[in-house]
Amino acid sequence: MEKVWEIVDTRLIDPESKAIGQRNMKLLFELNHTMPQTEEYFSKLRELFGDNLGGNSYIAPPIQGVCFERIKIGKNVFINGNLLAMARGGIIIEDDVQIAANVQLLTNNHDPYDRAILPCSPIHIQKGAWIGACAAVLPGISIGKHAIVGAASVVTKDVPDYAVVVGNPAKVIKTLDKNKFNED
């Protein structure tokens, strides 16, 4: 994914974006106070993500974040509780991804001199990737196919396909054997 930086001035948010933000906050509150694994919960999840939630995908509550309309989730994705998705820059999560609890997907930052200015860039998590508990993925990052991000890692650079990264900042510690994956 190309690293596109969008600059957002939070003082100039248009009324339509404010309305979408209010709707998302209301839906998040309702979702986070609904019994998981019920038809009511799945209905709220579909309402929040619309057509951007792939079949057989599940997100455990609670969920926090902004701009859920800018998140695209593929099929067979599992996201454990306490996801923080700051999605103003856009997030793509491909099929068969697993994301552990307390993960932060952060597509925006703050300008150091004017904190109302948000530089935003998308995150792309490719097919079959696995992100460990408490990891943080920063703006503009791509996580490669079948890559693993170790628990509590802070991802500041793109992760190659099949790589295992750990630490702060996350560094490649090994590469998985791509021939051991059962690809269709």
What gap in Å lies between CA 86 and CA 22, rounded to an integer? Answer: 15
Contact in structure between 98 and 118 (CB atoms under 8 Å): no
Strand order in the sheet with 78-79: 58-59, 78-79, 98-99, 130-131, 148-149, 163-166, 171-175
Q: Is 68 helix (H, G, I), strand (E, B) or coil?
A: helix
Query: How far apart, in Å, are the Cα atoms of 10 and each of 2, 89, 178?
Result: 24, 13, 43
The pairs formed by 48-57 with CB atoms below 8 angstroms and a separation of 24 or more are: 48/24, 49/73, 54/95
User: Which letter does DSSP use for residue 112 in this model?
Assistant: S
Contact in structure between 125 and 106 (CB atoms under 8 Å): no
Provide the token pair at 183.
């690809």
CA 30 to the chain's CA centroid: 20
Active site includes 146? no
- Catalytic sites, residue numbers: 110
